[in-house]
A and B are shown apart, each in its own frame.
Chain A
């Protein structure tokens, strides 16, 4: 067998080769009878993961002191207008206006209150404001694709934005990422910290994408797909999606005083 390609910028393999590898991993997973809920960190079809995942088992630790708390963020850190990504430029960004809203919960179903949520995304043409992004699609001068908010007392968040476009990358030849919004989340203790990506229902690129497919369990993958919600859409204004996020369980029972900052 040839030495695997360890770069996601090499575009060395065909989609058919990558898809065959992903199918084989899915087949082995289905036969294993084990249920996984998180992505594999060792997932060779995503080429740049090959040299960047630990090969030794994670070491079990009981969280102590600092790990039982999360940093506190407040109004000092985040302005309410940062949750609207469509008003950050001098004019209206181009694309399909949308809102996404939901709740951040911990593994016990408790709302994560007054905590920081950060998002970033490509514009409607599939282009990020990042010098590394050389995809020849237009930059929108009225759209940075960056937003933040604090969750409410019920763990709720809401962003108004433009629906991101899919974009090409070089993991393999003719590779395209399904449209997604990156989410960064904190819980009530540091062990709940996570970064993930929210996808849109019915995307034809799901089966072809090694980052999405690195979550080998089909039900687990679907937890990253938002739901179109007509009640969240606004008359003559925007389309609405809902997406709830569940963090791992807190190791310390949060109190009413938590995040009352």
Chain B
């Protein structure tokens, strides 16, 4: 079973996914009335600093206790089960909103983060990034991904906590403040 196969190439999501991939309730990992509901929002920008109006984002995260859900029901939500997955198409001004909870640390002392995948017309393959919570500065300082980055790049992965408790996370595909995008060990063979 250790046969190594060459991965199939990716391609852009293109402009016409809107009728197919986004779905009702995709952006709500929990209901807004959930006692620990948190708004996660931001804007996707291109290399000129202009909003990208045809991007789709997915998040995948642990629950507030740091547990990974393996429950189905992300596409047809029952309003009670935390599945950990969300999908949203940005609006006409490149802005997105998710309603979720702050992920808990998966292990004591680990910096909690939300995994994100970015798709867009014009983006020939998906991009991966992480959205770290800003609070546990000690854990952030010890994080292996963050600590390998220079300060100006590191900050692109850490969400800002707004006065009302919302998390703000902008995505800059290119240029000033370009978001750090990740590759994982098993991607390396592919380019």
Binding site for B on A (CB under 8 A): 6, 8, 36-41, 43, 46, 48-56, 58-67, 69-78, 105-110, 116, 118-120, 122, 128-130, 132-133, 144-146, 182, 184, 190-197, 211-212, 214-215, 220-221, 223-224, 245-251, 261
Closest partner residue, chain B, to A73 (CB atom): B72
The listed residue (A107, A146, A221) touching B186 by CB distance below 8 A is A107
A52 touches B6 (CB 8 A): no
Which residues of B line the A interface, CB within 8 A? Answer: 1-21, 46-48, 50, 52, 54, 58, 60-62, 66, 68-76, 83-85, 103, 106-107, 110, 113-115, 117, 119-128, 130, 144-145, 148-149, 153, 173-175, 178-191
The answer to whether A110 touches B76 (Cβ under 8 A) is no
Provide the residues of chain A in CB contact with B58, threshold 8 Å: 193
Q: Are B5 and A109 in contact (CB under 8 A)?
A: yes
Chain A: CB-nearest residue to B73 = A76
Interface centre among B1, B5, B10 (most CB of A within 10 A): B10
- Given A37-B6, A39-B9, A224-B8, do A55 and B191 touch, yes or no (CB 8 Å)? no
Picked from B16, B180, B190, the residue with its CB within 8 Å of the CB of A120 is B16
Query: What's the nearest-Cβ distance from chain A to residue B149, in Å?
Result: 7
B181 and A248 within 8 A (CB): no
With a cutoff of 8 Å between Cβ atoms, the chain A residues found around residue B62 in the complex are 65-66
Interchain CB contact under 8 A, B60 and A37: no
Across the interface, name the chain A residue whose C-beta is closest to B12: A211
The reply to whether B72 and A76 contact each other, CB–CB distance below 8 Å, is yes
* Contact partners of B126 in chain A: CB under 8 A: 193-195
Bound Cα distance from A113 to B167, whole angstroms: 35
Specify which chain A residues have a CB less than 8 angstroms from the CB of B185 in the assembled complex.
Answer: 60, 62-63, 251
Alpha-carbon distance A211/B9, docked complex (angstroms): 12
Cβ–Cβ contact B74 & A77, under 8 A: yes
Evaluate whether A249 and B178 lie within 8 angstroms (CB atoms) in the complex, with A120-B20, A223-B6 already known: no
CB-based contact A64/B110 at 8 Å: yes
Contacts of B115 in A (CB 8 A): 66-67, 190
What are 6 A-B residue pairs whose CB atoms fall within 8 Å in the complex? Answer: A60-B184, A66-B60, A66-B103, A182-B17, A251-B185, A261-B70
Assembled-state Cα–Cα distance A52/B121 (Å):
8
List the 10 closest A-B pairs by CB distance, nearest first.
A74-B72, A120-B20, A48-B122, A249-B186, A71-B85, A65-B106, A52-B122, A77-B75, A51-B47, A109-B3
Is the beta-carbon distance between B9 and A38 smaller than 8 angstroms?
Answer: yes
Q: Is the CB of A54 within 8 A of B11?
A: no
Complex: A249 Cα to B47 Cα, angstroms = 31
